[in-house]
Amino acid sequence: MTKIECVLRPAKLENVKEALNEYGVHGMTVTQVIGCGLQKGRTEVYRGTEYSINLLPKIKVEMVIPDKKVSEVIKIISDAARTGEIGDGKIFTYKIDNAIRIRTGETGDEAI
Amino acid sequence: MKNRFLQIFTLFFTFMMTIPALAWADDAAQAAATIDTGDTSWVLIATALVMLMTLPGLALFYGGLARKKNVLSTIMYSFFAMVLISLQWSLWGYSLSFGPDINHLIGSLDWFGLKNVGFDPNPDYAATIPHQAFMIFQMMFAIITPALISGAFAERMRFPAFVAFLLLWATFVYDPMAHWIWGVDGWLRNLGALDFAGGTVVHILSGVSGLVACLVLGKRKGYGSEPMIPHNLPYVILGAALLWFGWFGFNAGSALGANGLAASAFVVTHLATAAAALSWVAAEWLHHGKPTTLGAASGAVAGLVAITPASGFVEPMSAILIGLIGGVVCYFMVSVVKSKFHYDDALDAFGIHGIGGTWGAIATGLFATKAVNPAGGDGLFYGNPEQLVNQLIAVAVTWGVAIVGTYVILKVINVFSKLRATDEEQDIGLDFTQHGEDAYTDLVSGSTLTTFATVPAVKATASVVKPAL
């Protein structure tokens, strides 16, 4: 099992979610996050004082999937989230030891 | 003998006392017959109440309905309506609307800059309050009308284009229309169309203009595919409640005096609002299975809109009927018709104000009775079908003016300044792209630029922060 964690533009969340749903990945956890990377921050002005806000709002999506689907899921996410501009985000993958469905006690691939 | 002397003395004394009074009688009669302190204080209070409807009432109502990234830009539409129309009105707006008539079409500029608008009452409009009190009361109506339209194009109209739209629309659409309906010798007023507090001028005009504006600007990016749900319902409820509260000034204040008519308008306003909130929630409950708070708030506003033109002409039980029907009609427009025709009236300016206002204007032609207001008229249900015809003419004219005026103004502005925020700007949100601010800065990390701008490295980052989120 592999955990996929990706950081995306907020505006791309719907695209990604739909594409994954179509492919058959239904479970995911979504978090509103802020962060920085290559993309610069932005300037906001409050009563004449400018602030450089360097952490930008992003969306983090996490899901655990069977190993055989990993490359396909990565492609689906990349295609759905890409604009070609700096700030499209990143995808990280992790190996997962086990997964347990609390209700039934199922483990492994059956639990996800 | 002594008694007789006393009588003569008393008579003489009384006579002597009246001489100066007679000499002043001319002035005194004018002042006493004209400015009434009760009327004046009520109209001034009502003016402040109507001000409250726009800020913060409407601003919060619309702001809560918008998404988190657009709440400030939505509030700013209402705020700038207050700022700019206050000035426009005092410079030329009031004169165009209420100034001396030219060909029944427009007021002259004789009152430009409030010239000739002083303390003395203007008996043509309100004989018992200072002319300036009448002027500022009407100003609040001129302010809220374009602010209402902003609900239709919220979340996508660029701010510079909005500023231009505000001034042009107020001058070329609102002011002439107000003159036709309310100005002395305005042609719709002469025709006998009844509009007590502004159902046509304020609500139909703004609602239909909103429909035109949302069609010209096009749908928001992602409309129909992304969820676009209100970001803060308690704001919406708070805004709706302030609208309800302020509306007593709007309708009862339109009696322009502290009198029975004002009390009657106050009562019918309240009853129609409660009835419409009830019928909207009931319709929604039957249709979707849940009675929602947003439904209660929207229904209340629909009821307020519907009763507005009728508020000085109908009896309490008629008001309940007007409200009940108004709530259901507006609910139907917003939940069924809108989704059927796929126009993006973002915050339902047309569905509630355009449709509720139209229903109210027609209802006035049905339920009006001279028993409430001898200066008004009888409606269809009181044996005068002609009143209904007059109402329909006023409705049709208002729709026409709103459609043509708004369309032309938007097309003209579009030549000089883009109306619509780009897709990218809409993704980021208008709060940041138009105003450089964030409404909810819960977790901020960054640095001040201007105060510590001596550090060149920090300044350098400032120049490259055009966001590409």
Q: Is A102 exposed, middle or buried (0-12, 13-18, 19+ CB in 10 A)?
A: exposed
pLDDT at B20 over 60: no
> Is A47 within 8 Å of chain B by CB?
no
> Is B463 within 8 Å of chain A by CB?
no
Q: Within 10 A of A29 (CB to CB), how many other CB atoms are there?
A: 10
CB–CB of B448 and A55 under 8 A?
Answer: no
Token pair 């700013």 in the structure block, residue: B76
Residues B10 and A105: their CA atoms lie apart, in Å, by: 111
pLDDT at B28 over 90: no
Lowest-confidence region among A40-44, B62-66, B116-120, B260-264:
A40-44
Token pair 């032309």 in the structure block, residue: B408
pLDDT at B25 over 70: no
**Nearest to B427, CA basis, from A10, A84, A35:** A10
Return the structure tokens found at B410: 């938007």
Residue pLDDT, tens place only, B389-415:
999 999 999 999 999 999 999 999 999
pLDDT the model gives residue B446: 64
For the beta sheet containing A56-65, the strands, ordered from the edge strand earlier in sequence to the opposite edge, are: A29-35, A56-65, A2-8, A89-95
pLDDT the model gives residue B205: 96
Amino acid at B39: D
Amino acid at B451: T
Contacts with A43 from chain B: Cβ below 8 Å: 436, 449, 462, 465
Residues A44 and B292: their CA atoms lie apart, in Å, by: 37
CB–CB of B448 and A49 under 8 A?
Answer: yes
CB–CB of A40 and B465 under 8 A?
Answer: yes
Interface probe, candidates A12, A31, A42, A55, chain B, greatest B C-beta count within 10 A = A42
**Nearest to A18, CA basis, from A77, A64, A75, A66:** A77
CB–CB of B469 and A50 under 8 A?
Answer: no
Concatenated DSSP letters of B14-77: HHHHHHHHHHHHHHHHHHHHH--HHHHHHHHHHHHHHHHIIIIIIHHHHHHHS-GGGHHHHHHH
Residues B188 and B180: their CA atoms lie apart, in Å, by: 5
Q: Within 10 A of A62 (CB to CB), how many other CB atoms are there?
A: 15
CB–CB of A53 and B448 under 8 A?
Answer: no
In angstroms, the separation between the Cα of residue A83 and the nearest Cα of chain B is: 10
> Is B460 within 8 Å of chain A by CB?
no
CB–CB of B461 and A44 under 8 A?
Answer: no
Task: Give Cα A71 to chain centroid, integer Å.
Answer: 15
Return the structure tokens found at B446: 């960054």
pLDDT the model gives residue B116: 93
Q: In terms of DSSP bridges, do strands A49-53 and A42-46 run parallel, antiparallel, or are they unpaired?
A: antiparallel
Q: What angle do CA B362, B366, B372 make, to 5 degrees?
A: 115
**Nearest to B315, CA basis, from B272, B254, B360:** B272
Lowest-confidence region among B11-25, B71-85, B242-256, B437-451:
B11-25
In angstroms, the separation between the Cα of residue B292 and the nearest Cα of chain A is: 26
B236 within some domain: yes
B31 within some domain: no
Token pair 């009152």 in the structure block, residue: B111
> Is B456 within 8 Å of chain A by CB?
no
B4 within some domain: no
pLDDT the model gives residue B468: 40
B469 within some domain: no
Residues B362 and A8: their CA atoms lie apart, in Å, by: 52
Question: Is pTM beyond 0.90 here?
Answer: no
CA atoms within 13 A on the CB side of A50: 15
How far separated are the first and last CA of chain A, in Å rounded?
9
B3 within some domain: no
Q: Within 10 A of B414 (CB to CB), how many other CB atoms are there?
A: 15
Average pLDDT over residues B77-92: 97
pLDDT at B461 over 60: no
**Cβ–Cβ pairs < 8 A, chains A and B:** 79
pLDDT the model gives residue B462: 40
CB A52 within 8 Å of CB B461: yes
> How many domains does chain B fold into?
1
pLDDT at B453 over 50: no
Nearest residue, CB atoms, A51 vs list B447, B466, B468? B447
CB–CB of A56 and B467 under 8 A?
Answer: yes
CB–CB of B437 and A44 under 8 A?
Answer: yes
> Is A82 within 8 Å of chain B by CB?
no
| b/e burial code for range B282-299 (CB count within 10 A of at least 16 → b) | bbbeeeeeeeeebbbbbb
CB B43 within 8 Å of CB B405: no
Q: What is the domain-level CATH number for residue B151?
A: 1.10.3430.10
Residue B14 — very low, low, confident or very high, per pLDDT cuts 50/70/90? low
Residue B2 — very low, low, confident or very high, per pLDDT cuts 50/70/90? low
B277 within some domain: yes
CB–CB of B468 and A45 under 8 A?
Answer: no
ipTM higher than threshold 0.85: no
pLDDT the model gives residue B15: 52
Residues A2 and B404: their CA atoms lie apart, in Å, by: 60
Identify the three-state secondary structure at position B101.
Answer: strand
> Is A10 within 8 Å of chain B by CB?
yes
φ, ψ for residue B101 (rounded to 5)?
-65, 140
Average pLDDT over residues B109-128: 94
Residues B468 and B463: their CA atoms lie apart, in Å, by: 14
Residue A49 — very low, low, confident or very high, per pLDDT cuts 50/70/90? confident
Chain B 391-450, residues with CB within 8 Å of chain A CB atoms: 427-428, 432, 436-438, 443-450
pLDDT the model gives residue A41: 78
φ, ψ for residue A41 (rounded to 5)?
-75, -160
B246 within some domain: yes
φ, ψ for residue A25 (rounded to 5)?
-95, 110
Residues A49 and B406: their CA atoms lie apart, in Å, by: 38
Residue B34 — very low, low, confident or very high, per pLDDT cuts 50/70/90? confident
Looking at chain B, which residue has its C-alpha nearest residue A12?
B427
Q: What is the DSSP letter of B122?
A: B
**Residue B193 parent element (H or E):** none
Which domains are present in chain A? Answer: 2-111 (3.30.70.120)
Enclosing domain of residue B308: 37-424
B281 within some domain: yes
Return the structure tokens found at A26: 């239904």
Average pLDDT over residues B334-340: 91
Residue B443 — very low, low, confident or very high, per pLDDT cuts 50/70/90? low
Residues B272 and B305: their CA atoms lie apart, in Å, by: 9
Residue B460 — very low, low, confident or very high, per pLDDT cuts 50/70/90? very low
pLDDT the model gives residue A53: 80
Residue pLDDT, tens place only, B61-80:
999 999 999 999 999 999 99
Q: Would you call the peptide bond into B56 cis, given omega within 30 degrees of 0 as the criterion?
A: yes
pLDDT at B4 over 90: no
Lowest-confidence region among A108-112, B24-28, B172-176, B262-266:
B24-28
